[in-house]
Amino acid sequence: MGIIINLDVVMAQRKKGLTELAKDVDITLANLSILKNNKAKAIRLSTLNAICKSLNCQPGDILQYIEDEKEEKQE
């Protein structure tokens, strides 16, 4: 899988809804939903910065790396 986005977990911990975060970050609900549902292929550092500022968290609270089983087997 690679990089996992735990935005929904951090949002729940901070009790912040999708609409409120979208306004804080100045991002569309659709794009924020893509991030929240782990469907994003990329994220701009400026967007990550704004999310972290709004949620008062570190990038590592939102992003997690999980090694692929396929990569593991090839070694």
Residue count of the chain:
75
User: What is the distance, to the nearest Å, from the Cα of residue 12 to the centroid of all Cα atoms in its chain?
Assistant: 13
Q: Which residues contact 37 (CB under 8 A, 6 or more apart)?
A: 8
Residue 68 has pLDDT above 90, yes or no: no
Arithmetic mean of pLDDT, 40-58: 96
- Both tokens of residue 33? 């939903």
d(Cα 55, Cα 27) in Å, to the nearest integer? Answer: 14
The predicted structure's pLDDT at residue 72:
54
Q: What is the pLDDT of residue 67?
A: 86
Q: What is the pLDDT of residues 16-36, one digit of tens each?
A: 999 999 999 999 999 999 999
Q: How confident is the model at residue 63 (pLDDT cuts 50, 70, 90)?
A: very high
What is this structure's pTM?
0.84
Judge contact between 43 and 7, C-beta under 8 A: no
